[in-house]
Amino acid sequence: MTTVERPVPPLNADERTTLESWLDFHRTTLAMKCADLDDEQAAVASVPPSAFTLTGLVQHMAEVERNWFRRVFAGEQVPPIFDPQADPDGVDGGFEVAAGATLGDALATWHAEIARARELCADRTLADTGRFMGQDVSLRWIYVHMIEEYARHNGHADLVRERIDGATGL
């Protein structure tokens, strides 16, 4: 079994360290939910009629990372990664898994988006803003939202993973 080291957020740190540590904790949790699965397993739908899969979830989180950090916070004009016809803004995309898509490719894309997000945030303050729906939105708010987004989807991933191979508590 692959060992993925999940960093425990510090119990008493400054605000930025706390937020970034919790975000990294949840990013790592998603990676743990996908560890040791092959492409076929990662493409298993949760419970019919839902088409929700772990590969689709990783693709979705790559889109979410891209949207909040690159489009909203940094103002980059980048297209959606997965199925731009289904979701031209790339906001809710990625869940649909195209024929031939692999978990490995989805993870690589997701990791690249995380790396870019870290670069974009490294020299910025929590009070720095991007634009969302015609309003300023702070990096602080984006971090909190991303923690919530990952926490919610990691709960989904728990259930899907348990259905695939019985693994729980990852």
pLDDT tens column, 43-93: 988 777 888 899 999 999 999 999 999 999 999 999 999 865 555 555 567
Q: Which residue has the tokens 């605000």?
A: 15
User: What are the residues whose beta carbons fall under 8 Å from the beta carbon of 126, sequence distance 6 or more?
Assistant: 15, 16, 19, 138, 139, 140, 143
The topology under which CATH files domain 15-164 is: Four Helix Bundle (Hemerythrin (Met), subunit A) (1.20.120)
**What is the reported pTM?**
0.91
